[in-house]
A and B are shown apart, each in its own frame.
Chain A
């Protein structure tokens, strides 16, 4: 960063940072034991208290916003584990977002980083048709024999270790027509209890289309009529957390518009990260009075799939899977952003024939954190190692997650530890669907599916 950039950043810190929120931190340090990067480094620079002190010091003019300040902020996973333990109630996530936004807006990026950002954050994620095309390319790679050729060639060994694992753990991609022609309306099984909209997401509706399918099925079984508004966009979390706030705002507005017309009781999400970003739309749009109220109304309707399932007593239905030891990895944003952590556990504990074991520090981040595991791979892998130690200690055969990023990261962890024969990672809806359909007799299942036109 040159002098001009630094002074511009400093000025914007003074103008835009929420100073009252910065003062709210009274430096008691209660956040320290919950912060994964502090626990990993024992360095105050990499703690929430330290980062807030740095932000405040930049505003106060005590230090310049140099590369080290940026590094400290970049090192943060944004897992917000510091928020629920903060007695003073500091909205750390908001402060981090504000600070990152200012820094990234004023940063001269290297050509390669700029390219990656422009293509992914601005050119890819916001456009579902492009996501489909891109994902299909991956599908072509997987199915055409190119994958086995690549793997045999040893070319993957040239990539950093974790990226090579990442390639292995990506799920098999659905066909292009499946992605393009996904149904948009579903009738409930039996009596209609709620009318809901489903936020289908970008990554979830391409790479994890199968999981999205399982989600709508579960909702049908639970008695929901479901609509999937066609003009919805990606939630904008990746952009928002990477300092591309304007892009995120545009997408937020598109989503608000799309879901307003749906006239539903709830908007259901099945990705912790997306859900919590949607809940926070009113903060994202706080300087846009025309939109803040509309954003608030949307926020109030957001509900994670696990919460509506519990609300509709799905955990009391017959659920059965034989002989698995199940453990649960909290999605940081589902837990810390949406305060949802009892519901997934209740659902998992309700599965008969299997055994739920809580892992130590289940609420600690897995190190995935959006694109953190690619950009900060060293720290991410250290955090993952810790996570895998406690996952294995449970003796689990199934690790359950509630967010696509966590799902891939846990798959990567399993692969990295050489455990793929003993352990698998799944999204909670996939497991619940399996458990419910296993519990039914074949006749019951066909009957139900015919009744409600569920495609099997």
Chain B
């Protein structure tokens, strides 16, 4: 609980209507989209401008009160679960796109803008903001920046990081700084912009962002390649890239995932095959046609049983939407759905898919796999029941093994979801103790009192996952 005096000062800062600490409010902001993690904050606060953010942080820094910035809470790493209590900071008043600059090809926005709305706004001007996380209908751009979100178009266009040019950030001591700008070239000192992107709210609060835009591709085409053999599908992925074609999207779904996705979307996805690749190319019409033709050929050469071309944008959009719902659709099968984010170099995709299936068998678990095959970012997803303690133990062991294997193949423990609290125990696998201490040193420099989203990225103990945490 916040001391009465602090509470009064916060209310004075933002107004009573922007401060909430009823039990229902605290409960409603005690979780994000990550299973097994929940903890009550002490209050929820919606500052109206950066000055208020600065004053809130100054006060919290003095009083050592944790601050958790939260967008729409769609992240899958418990990045916005207020594990140490404190204040959940919302951005509902930061909901404006400030400028679309057609000369410099940039958009300057507040963090609370919905990602899809932002995309639509720039597309209305013939411009294109490529990062498209599956949660884009719901997520806020500030959350995407903090988590360095990926998406279906990551293969060709990269991730959120590749589009952030400049930021306005409030530091834990209340200082407001600006990094980068509308510049293609800028080597003035350390690249703080890149440091803040993906920092998961542990270094400061982003209050404004300037993002890079690209011209809208002239056309796009979508195909679906069906396989009776998972290996063949995985091999196709490497072969396409080896043929020097970079599709916009190259997604992989296994049979169980296909079945539930079809159950939800009812668009006539084939459920009688073992694996499907959803492949998309965009660009100039002639080169898209050319690429799609080549890709279809490579698919068939690698034992695709069928290659279907989407007949209309509506059909293509249905396919993409269906793919985006994969995770949530899997929740139909079992009460608890634990999704992971293991990533390997794309040449190792076939190996990794195989390993995941072997590990699932070894630990007697149901693990479905789908993901962004083209960039090596896989989402092995375990269907389990949180009430079955014995099984959950096995799940943890299996995932630890999956991560070890991913790193051994030259991969990482998370490709796009972030470390948060969920992956914190495994960070050492990727960074080693030295890597972790280099990062902690940065964290200490910005946030000596550890008020910014504490309990994330850096785990107290390694190996053991934090299980459901419910501070009353």
Contacts and interface: CB of A to CB of B under 8 A. Distances in A.
Contacts of A68: 22-25
Contacts of B24: 45, 54, 63, 66, 68-69, 71-72
A114 interface: no
Interface in A40-95: 42-45, 47, 50, 53-54, 57, 62-64, 66, 68-69, 71-72, 86-89
A24 interface: yes
A353 interface: no
Interface stretch (A27-35, A151-159, A225-233, A368-376): A27-35
B176 interface: no
A20 B336 CA distance: 10
Interface of B: 22-25, 27-35, 72-74, 90, 92, 114, 135, 137-138, 261, 263-264, 325-329, 331-332, 335-337, 385-386, 470, 472
Given A33-B137, A63-B27, A28 B33 contact: yes
Given A87-B325, A89-B264, A30 B27 contact: no
Interface in A86-110: 86-89
Given A26-B327, A30-B135, A32-B72, 14 more contacts: A23-B336, A28-B328, A28-B331, A29-B138, A45-B28, A53-B28, A54-B28, A62-B27, A63-B27, A68-B25, A86-B328, A87-B325, A88-B329, A89-B332
20 contacts: A23-B335, A24-B335, A26-B35, A26-B327, A26-B328, A27-B32, A28-B33, A28-B327, A29-B73, A29-B135, A30-B137, A30-B138, A43-B25, A57-B27, A64-B23, A68-B22, A68-B23, A87-B332, A88-B332, A89-B264
A88 B331 contact: yes
Contact of A28 (B90, B135, B336, B472): B135
A24 B472 contact: no
Given A29-B73, A54-B27, A62 B472 contact: yes
Nearest to B117: A33
Contacts of B326: 87
Nearest to A71: B24
Nearest to A28: B328
In this complex, which of A44, A50, A87 has the most chain B Cβ atoms within 10 angstroms of its Cβ?
Answer: A87
B264 A87 contact: yes
A431 B328 CA distance: 41
A250 to B, nearest CB: 33
Nearest to B385: A23
Contacts of A50: 28
A44 B25 CA distance: 8
Contacts of B335: 20, 23-24
A33 to B, nearest CB: 5
In this complex, which of B24, B29, B264, B335 has the most chain A Cβ atoms within 10 angstroms of its Cβ?
Answer: B24
A411 to B, nearest CB: 32
Nearest to A89: B332
A72 B23 CA distance: 12
B419 to A, nearest CB: 19
Contacts of B328: 26, 28, 30, 86-88
A32 B74 CA distance: 10
Nearest to B88: A44
Interface residues on A, range: 20 to 34
A154 B27 CA distance: 47
Shortest Cβ-Cβ A-B pairs, 3 listed = A87-B328, A88-B331, A87-B325
A53 B135 CA distance: 20
A45 B264 contact: no
A43 B46 CA distance: 11
Contacts of A33: 114, 137-138
A442 to B, nearest CB: 44
Nearest to B75: A29
Nearest to B260: A87
A63 B325 CA distance: 31
A29 B33 contact: yes
B337 A26 contact: yes
Interface of A: 20, 23-30, 32-33, 42-45, 47, 50, 53-54, 57, 62-64, 66, 68-69, 71-72, 86-89
Nearest to B333: A88
In this complex, which of B22, B35, B470 has the most chain A Cβ atoms within 10 angstroms of its Cβ?
Answer: B22
A88 B327 CA distance: 9
Contacts of A53: 27-28, 30-31
Contacts of B386: 23
Contacts of B23: 63-64, 66, 68
B354 to A, nearest CB: 27
A340 to B, nearest CB: 15
A27 B28 contact: no
A338 B72 CA distance: 30
Contacts of A69: 24
A62 B33 CA distance: 19
Nearest to A60: B470
Nearest to A34: B137
Contacts of B327: 26, 28, 87
A69 B28 CA distance: 11
A104 B332 CA distance: 30
Contacts of A87: 261, 264, 325-329, 331-332
Given A53-B31, A68-B22, A72-B24, A30 B337 contact: no
Contacts of B73: 27, 29, 44
Contacts of B28: 43-45, 47, 50, 53-54
Contacts of B74: 28-29
Contacts of B27: 53-54, 57, 62-63
Nearest to A70: B24
Contacts of B472: 62
Contact of B31 (A24, A27, A32, A66): A27
A57 B22 CA distance: 14
Contacts of B325: 30, 87
A334 B78 CA distance: 37
Nearest to B91: A42
A69 B23 CA distance: 9
A89 B24 CA distance: 25
Nearest to A72: B24
B199 to A, nearest CB: 22
A19 B217 CA distance: 47
Contacts of A45: 24-25, 28
A71 B256 CA distance: 40
A25 B31 CA distance: 12
A25 B25 CA distance: 19
Given A29-B74, A30-B325, A72-B24, A42 B33 contact: no
A48 to B, nearest CB: 11
A162 B328 CA distance: 40
Given A53-B31, A54-B24, A42 B92 contact: yes
A44 B135 contact: no
